[in-house]
Amino acid sequence: MSGSNSVALSLLGTITGSGASSSLSMLQAIYGLSASGAPTTDPLGALQLAEKNQTADIAKTEKQPDVARDIAVFQKAIAGAKDAPTLLKNPDFLKVLLTANGLADQAQYPALAQKVLLSNPSDSNSLVSKLANTTWTATNKTYQFGTQGLAIIQDPSVQSKLADAYAEVKWRQSLDQATPGLSNALTFRAQAASIGTAYDILGNSVLRDVVTTALGLPKEIALQSVETQAAAVTTRLDLTKLKDPHFVDTFTQRYLLAKQASATAASTPTLDSLASQLTGLWV
């Protein structure tokens, strides 16, 4: 039994009568809830704090044993590789490369990753072109495995940047555990001003999540044509406003609150439900 549950059960004997208010306050403190069940953490405040401490916190993350180990294995894989196709089959290499480039969820598809990263982005019939995913395209063009082989990835400065980027992703993941959506919010704030069309949003998984969530669009919209999706975005959002820092702040907070509400509804009991459950035990 967790410490929180033990304390909650200890309130059973005091929650009736005049002790009800104070006991509910204690439950609120234990579970981090307001009366409606929402977490009490200010998401925008958490975002601003993360931006302030980002550089120092990423440096600390890179020194953590598990992160340092992943980076060391990644560098070892590069040093021992004979060619790009062989290197791209190495799961330890792909884990760091894809994670550092915003493709962590694709590491479970090594065959796809190899084909995409070796394909020619200048060929409209190539796999990377057909995917129409800006993150895959950017990664392909950055490392040019298909035309340059190992030349770029063997550059120490490139490996250093990848190590930093990998540590940053790990840091962002830790942020999300405390404040749902915080990592995506950081990315959105940094890239919002450069968004020109709805397709820039739809082709980027992070921007897509932030914008569609903040606008209240269902995930099922992804099943519709990209033109329909783009129209759904532009009829609800004036993209020119994304160049206004104040609007971006407000929009980001809207996203974070939506993510927070979703996470709370899925995993945390409200005070009313806790009180109701406890009341049933007094009868």
51-94 pLDDT, tens per residue? 999 999 999 999 999 999 999 999 999 999 999 999 999 999 99
**What does the pLDDT read at residue 186?**
93
Q: Is the pLDDT of residue 36 over 50?
A: no
**What does the pLDDT read at residue 270?**
54
pLDDT band at 225 (very low <50, low <70, confident <90, very high): very high
Same-fold call for 60-174 versus 180-267: yes
Tell which wins on pLDDT, 192 or 43.
192
Q: Give me the residue spans of the domains in the chain.
A: 1-37+268-283, 60-174, 180-267
Model confidence, pTM: 0.68
**Torsion angle of the four alpha carbons 87, 90, 94, 97, in this order, in degrees rounded to the nearest 10:** -40
CATH superfamily, with its number, for domain 60-174: AGR C 984p-like (1.10.3700.10)
- The conformation of residue 64, written as its DSSP 8-state character, comes to S
Q: What are residue 125's phi and psi, to 5 degrees?
A: -95, 0
Q: What is the pLDDT of residues 133-161, one digit of tens each?
A: 888 999 999 999 999 999 999 999 999 99
**What does the pLDDT read at residue 230?**
97
Percent of the chain surpassing pLDDT 70: 79
Tell which wins on pLDDT, 33 or 135.
135
**What does the pLDDT read at residue 129?**
87
pLDDT band at 109 (very low <50, low <70, confident <90, very high): very high
**Residues forming a β-bridge with 39:** 33
Q: What are residue 101's phi and psi, to 5 degrees?
A: -105, 20
Fold classification of 180-267 (topology level): AGR_C_984p-like (1.10.3700)
**What does the pLDDT read at residue 188?**
96
Q: What are residue 33's phi and psi, to 5 degrees?
A: -115, 155
Rounded CA separation 171/185 (Å): 14
